[in-house]
């Protein structure tokens, strides 16, 4: 018998279970199924059993987690540049981030296998990577493999999570979806034909988006960071923008590769911040003209990289509605999103 749809561990026969899960087709670019309280693409759910069974974390591994469009690209760049600064000094003209998009440097462990049909198993590729490995995921905390979430002390694996104000996450996500829908073959579908702001907003408020509900996704990682602060580092995008240098130092300490006094005095932290800045990454040739196997252009991953842009798109009534939904969902948890107005 298939595992129940609210089971924490993915069913081994997920392909058989999928048709029985609630379906959402109105949110481009991919159809979503609701599993364990979250909406995820069928391709991601299909891969879950293999990820749980075959992923073999190493002690030095770092897993970057996020809800989509919450600072993922920036976090990938910062973590990669920090972890590999001995091999690739940030000032090097040939630094990987000057030749590849951050999503190539740090790959998602649940990436759609259909987009990799010519390159073999992603898990096999991970095994070939030299330590320290930096991997990424949009999976909610409850669906991470136990090989990541279990263990204490030396056996524990490190997870870095970045969260963003839900209103900005929604707007950023909407712009991204409009850019990439055609690349995923969704441009001509009924669900992706021309989703407007109002339709997309209602879906977001209902949590019917990739990895949604957003606030539940964030809350699970925040609670994990409260329970296991040495294993889960919780970052807030708005505070990262305010003090990126402090963020890089905190990130390095957490990953086990803190900066030496000589490095700090030598300006290595500043060089990493500059290399990974939106302005720098956005204007690199690879990010202005390159793309991935799915046909998504690298420039789609870079927009404003700011806080509070939702004010240019949401009406006061829309903002109030989402604020109320989030406030009620988080009531009693002890967590609250950063108010970008006071940052």
Question: At which residue do the structure tokens 């087709």 appear?
Answer: 25
Give me the helices (H) in the chain, please: 14-17, 42-54, 72-83, 96-99, 102-105, 122-128, 146-149, 166-180, 197-205, 214-227, 237-242, 244-255, 261-265, 268-275, 278-282, 285-289, 316-330
All residues at 6 or more sequence positions from 161 whose CB lies less than 8 Å from its CB, including other chains: 64, 65, 66, 218, 221, 222, 225, 232, 233, 234, 235
Between CA 100 and CA 320 the distance in angstroms is: 40
Question: At which residue do the structure tokens 């364990």 appear?
Answer: 36
Between CA 179 and CA 210 the distance in angstroms is: 16
Q: In Å, how far from its chain's centre is CA 313?
A: 23
User: Do you find a cis peptide bond into 187, omega within 30 degrees of 0?
Assistant: no
Question: Does the annotation mark 88 as catalytic?
Answer: no
Query: Residue 39's beta-bridge partner residues?
Result: 34
Task: Of 184, 187, 127, 165, give the one whose Cα is nearest residue 311.
Answer: 165
Interstrand relation of 32-35 and 38-41 (parallel, antiparallel or unpaired): antiparallel
Residues across the chain: 343
DSSP for 49-63? HHHHHH----TT-EE
Q: In Å, how far from its chain's centre is CA 188?
A: 27
Between CA 282 and CA 291 the distance in angstroms is: 13
Q: Tell me how far apart the 2 most distant CA atoms of the chain are, in Å.
A: 61
Name the active-site residue from 95, 138, 217, 313: 138
Torsion, Cα 148 149 155 157, to 10 degrees, reads 50
Where in the sequence numbering do the catalytic residues fall?
Answer: 138
């Amino acid at each position: 018998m298939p595992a129940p749809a609210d089971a924490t561990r993915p069913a081994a026969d997920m392909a058989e279970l999928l048709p029985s899960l609630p379906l959402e087709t109105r949110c481009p670019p991919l159809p979503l199924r609701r599993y364990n309280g979250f909406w995820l693409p069928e391709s991601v759910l299909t891969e879950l059993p293999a990820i749980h069974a075959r992923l073999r974390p190493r002690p030095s591994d770092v897993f970057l987690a996020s809800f989509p469009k919450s600072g993922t690209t920036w976090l990938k760049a910062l973590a990669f540049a920090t972890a590999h600064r001995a091999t690739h000094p940030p000032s090097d003209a040939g630094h990987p981030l000057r030749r590849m998009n951050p999503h190539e440097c740090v790959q998602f462990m649940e990436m759609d296998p259909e987009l990799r049909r010519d390159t073999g198993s992603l898990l096999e590729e991970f095994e070939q990577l030299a330590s320290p490995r930096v991997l990424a995921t949009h999976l909610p905390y409850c669906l991470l493999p136990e090989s990541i979430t279990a263990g204490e002390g030396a056996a524990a694996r490190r997870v870095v999570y970045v969260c963003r104000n839900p209103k900005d996450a929604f707007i950023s996500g909407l712009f991204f979806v409009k850019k990439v829908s055609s690349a995923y073959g969704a441009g001509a579908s009924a669900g992706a034909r021309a989703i407007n702001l109002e339709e997309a907003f209602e879906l977001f408020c209902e949590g019917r988006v990739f990895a949604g509900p957003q606030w539940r996704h964030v809350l699970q990682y925040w609670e994990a960071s409260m329970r296991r602060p040495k294993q889960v580092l919780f970052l807030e995008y708005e505070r990262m923008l305010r003090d990126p240098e402090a963020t890089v130092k905190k990130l390095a300490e957490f990953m086990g590769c803190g900066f030496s006094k000589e490095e700090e005095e030598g300006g290595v932290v500043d060089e990493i911040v500059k290399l990974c800045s939106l302005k720098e990454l956005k204007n690199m040739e690879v990010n202005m003209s390159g793309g991935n196997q799915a046909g998504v252009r690298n420039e789609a991953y870079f927009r404003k990289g700011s806080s509070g842009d939702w004010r240019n798109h949401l009406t006061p009534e829309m903002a109030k509605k989402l604020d109320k939904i989030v406030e009620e969902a988080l009531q009693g948890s002890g967590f609250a999103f950063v108010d970008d107005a006071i940052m």
